[in-house]
Structure 1
């Protein structure tokens, strides 16, 4: 049975007063739904859910929020993969798991060293989706990595809904030219991801200008990436990562490993020579590649033109995929 657009409310779940890639996507989606004429509300989870739950970065979206989901057949609740256990609290509402990450889900379901319920011999509380067929449940995937993961678990009813970058990384960068004159021999990296591998490179080549992304605003991230020739990410890639795309739009050569979504050309479509299986003791090979990127920057950065074009089109693809998904719920 199809739903009625005028009586349906979407509930989008996100952690309270917390800024990261996942919550940003939930707010972007809520904004898109409202722009399409739907009613959408955020529901925030966590200690700050009743006091100042909206992070400063997301107040610009002006999304209404609530502390209660009305569990009726006319409504739809969208849960990120870190809160999949919540789907079992609701029986009547249409439920969606939006798989923004695979690795964060796997981390969330990792057995805890001590469980009081297990100690007392009680049946464990369901804290996560168990991959059994569930009525009124569908799955949206942000990455091909997530689709591959779900298909390996025999999950069906999967729909593509990726994401797109903020306009700050698109509008003024589409036609920008990147040259040796407006770039430094600088390598930017995220110290929260794959830092042990990065540290070995830094130790072997301390003369290189290594610059971490930490304690800065999104606007400052943009300025930093605009100044650099290379962005390295040797961490896990739990979904279709945002920072590599931001870096590509800022004219960085992207160097990754092959973990998670980086192993899928659909998620990070860069030449194979820039996807490195980091091997201890082979740091010099990586450093030689990086130094060649400094020397031949204007040639090497052209390999990322098609990646940038794809990133520029992501919002249009998102809009089209979202419209297709809405036809599964509404006439």
Structure 2
């Protein structure tokens, strides 16, 4: 069921929720989504799917459609919506099968009402449960200090949605605050587990001499995997572009006895080829969809210290590049 409210107020929305008998007793968190009209439904599909494991109230704030490119750039920098001469708030209340395992509020602020999105959201935050803010598309420069980000203990960005995901992640790295996480990292959870279990005996024997990671150019997950391997293995890790494969295509581990290769075989499986073993091993490891990655982050709800350590290498690279550029000039 979808209830449409035109030129409404936060008080009217709360009253409507109460009149519909909405109870917050079983909700484990509030999920705030900062999106636009084009990406709204896709974001809600992922949020509603994740809510089946983590019942929550979803509050989606939809950017005004009449802003200029300059206004959009300004919002990304300071987190506030552009000014308007007039303002009003439209809203949708989605319940039942239209809302996953909880209720969904979709806010459409325009003009003056869109200037401070956080004041619109606060009345709908559930008491005594965590608040998570998610940017399915373009994130603010500093998520933790943006108005919607400041409401949350966990802030989820999605650099894989950007034209150059690796560059987008590198831009976020210097602004990192504990509680920030990006879905490019969540996408490689299974890859990291696979690599750790496969290389365990080789690492104990000290037999790893180097690694080559082949994957999609500019892919943020590939960049994170490379940095994680460098930190954990302490060996050189080379990147090779594989434009025909989304995400990670292969991880080749150079060892004293030959190459161990983990290859993405298809959407559901990977193949492990070991030196000296004639027949490859095929293992189920499905590509991670948005519902799965969101569900993982809503389950964690605590700072990921390994991600923090890996992301710090992006910040270090940026700092070194800035120093080098200053020397040139």
Q: Structure 2 length normalisation: TM-score?
A: 0.30
Q: Structure 1 length normalisation: TM-score?
A: 0.30
More strand, by proportion: 2
